[in-house]
Structure 1
């Protein structure tokens, strides 16, 4: 999911994502080759919180609490019109990103033992990873290729709980946002 290598995924890890199926035509080929999360079965997405709780901790009470927290946030639309960069990472920029940040903050506040990005980064930067681990020249080539598929919009009405089973990421539950 969030800028990790498949060799670092561990069975039982979980994450919360917003699927962005409208991105697939523009990014699928690049993600399948250059994004370890795509290679491990994660669709085009913006991460809400990764890592979340270990799968062994996710029970009916956690499901109910997730439904309550997420149901308190309204569904929203995102527009993807440009790319952004982090070191060795090319991503699509969701705009506006306020609602995504609010989802992350709300879940992290409810489960402080699961800080965004495992606490590695202070700032929350919502993004849809296209490629990572590449040099700048390669990222420039990919960006030029992706530009033809922009802009597009996506309606966000749910957040998915993904679980890594040791081989692939699988969706385990979907939580509706308010309408």
Structure 2
């Protein structure tokens, strides 16, 4: 990855505080089953901050008018398979997670891989240091 892009991502993402998410329900997009994050606002802010840095590369290639923050669970499966997965997940929710970094993922045509990871600002109170 280009050093300037890496530095820009570190800068823009490092200005955002770590946060907690809760996943209480599933949602659907065409051919996609996902978990809906609450609150969604921190994810929207991260997406918008990155899009502001690179307006020539809008989220999802500009294919969608609305950004829908989500955690993809399954994609490209038959509806019956998605329904089965959703039913199984229903008994396991809610889930919670701490978001303390953002991973840059790349697809090589076969699988997704982490290319780089960028830390968010630590929002936890720091212990005082004694002089």
Structure whose alpha-carbon radius of gyration is higher: 2
How many residues are aligned here? 122
For residues 73 and 142 of structure 1, what CA distance do their matches in structure 2 show?
A: 33
1:142 and 2:85 equivalent? yes
Deviation of residue 132 (structure 1)? 2.5
5+ long unaligned stretches in structure 1? 1-57
**What TM-score, normalized to structure 2?**
0.84
- Paired residue for 1:67, among 10, 14, 19? 10
The equivalent of 2:126 in structure 1 is none
* Counterpart position of 1:80: 23
- Structure 2 vs 1, CA of residues 98 and 62 (structure 1 numbering), >3 Å: closer, same or farther? same
Going from structure 1 to structure 2, the CA distance change for 1:85 and 1:167 (only over 3 Å counts) comes to: closer
Matched, 1:159 2:102: yes
1:111 to 54, 58, 77: 54
More helix by share: 1
**Structure-1-length-normalised TM-score:** 0.63
- RMSD (CA atoms): 1.6
Structure 1 residues 111 and 150, CA gap change in structure 2 (3 angstroms): same
- 1:134 and 1:172 map into 2 onto residues whose CA distance is 26
Deviations 1:44-78 (A, max 9, x none): xxxxxxxxxxxxxx311111110010001000000
